[in-house]
Amino acid sequence: MGTLPRNKTGVQQYDEAKLGFGDIFTEHMLTIKYSATDGGWETPQIVKTENLSLHPGAMILHYGQQVFEGLKAFAGPEDEDILLFRPDMNIARFNKSCERMCIPTMDPKIFMARMAELLRKDRDWIPRAAGTSLYIRPTVIAIDSHLGVRPSKTYLFYIIMSPVGAYYPEGFEPVKIMVTDKYVRAVIGGVGEAKTAANYAASLYAAEAAHREGFTQVLWLNAVDKSSIEEVGTMNIFFRINDEIITPKLGGTILPGVTRDSVLRLCRDKGMKVSEKVISINDVVSAAQSDKLQEIFGSGTAAVVSPVSHFRYKEQDYMVADGKTGAVARDLFDEITGIQVSKKPDPYGWVCNVGLHP
Ligand SMILES: Cc1ncc(COP(=O)(O)O)c(C=O)c1O
């Protein structure tokens, strides 16, 4: 273990320079219990991060009734800064996912206030090195011990936090993605746009197959006829073709990403031609073959913006932009990460500082 330079308590927690993604957890967590028959959400509590005690019949363990979110806190220029990037969007998406999964929603003001309190409690865990942050994982699980299939009447909401470095071992280096026309992630009318465990469990088999072939993530196609692009494992996807920035439109099967929304806004305000539309995989292949495909990049909280150097489709490999990071991906990465840590102006009011007591 190395030292954490800013830790005021002097405890050695982790080595900032070697941070991976999601293996280390901070000292405290927030918990709020819910009972449908006993007053709804109970009083929030901040406790030491510890194992949960669940009955083996708890409904989350059988039917996966669950929702989660992922957002990041950053250290800022001032010592007391704790900077969040568009947390209102994560909270709204959390509640939308809850509605879809028959889970009671949480008052956004309470969610925000308690999350901020937890962040202030564990502020010494926020790493400071470039590219690092404190990843925040709000989660709600169904905890009735009951084996019939129905929505649970009791829930546990909790927030755990993890100091993180780069999501991909490649860092900001380009990644390779594998287009699958064998497996699908979500169907229209399903739960694809909800951030719920089932979507990720369903993705593992194809992701493992892609890893074995040397690809970082799977690029999913639409389930009906596997003709159009959906999203990547944990990212939304963008193409730059003939100087137009194109991303699949939201249609209920893909996650409405916070980073996706930010990328769209930045690109539009930079005067680029931007489209949210149905993109066929055949059009992407044709663009790659005729040198019109200038860039592919993914967007997501964990990796921010992730350039794609290669993709494989129907056993054929295609290289994008000579396998190098494209100019737009680089610019967006710099812009968003700069705004997140207050190194760049934030004309949109995206950054929310919760470092000081209200
Ligand atoms: C399936 C999926 N798509 C897209 C994203 C990107 O969303 P966001 O930018 O809100 O992190 C994520 C990550 O949360 C994801 O898990």
Instruction: Please provide residue 41's backbone torsions phi and psi, each rounded to the nearest 5 degrees.
Output: -70, 135
Residue with the nearest Cα to atom 16 of ligand 1?
Answer: 234
CA distances 92 to 28, 30, 80, 208, 343, Å, are 24, 19, 27, 31, 27
- Residue type present at position 310: H
Residue 71 alpha carbon, nearest atom of ligand 1 = 11
Q: What is the pLDDT of residues 67-117, one digit of tens each?
A: 999 999 999 999 999 999 999 999 999 999 999 999 999 999 999 999 999
CA distance 94 to 32: 15
pLDDT of 130: 87
Residue with the nearest Cα to atom 12 of ligand 1?
Answer: 234
pLDDT of 24: 92
Task: Report all structural domains of the chain as residue ranges with CATH numbers, in order of start.
Answer: 16-164 (3.30.470.10), 175-340 (3.20.10.10)
- Residue type present at position 61: L
* Alpha-carbon torsion, ordered 104, 105, 109, 111, to 10 deg: 80
Burial class, 346, CB count within 10 angstroms (exposed 0-12 / middle 13-18 / buried 19+): middle
pLDDT of 1: 35
300 touches ligand 1 (CB under 6 Å): yes
Residue 195 alpha carbon, nearest atom of ligand 1 = 16
What residue ranges of the chain have pLDDT lower than 50? 1-6, 10-12
235 touches ligand 1 (CB under 6 Å): yes
pLDDT of 15: 85
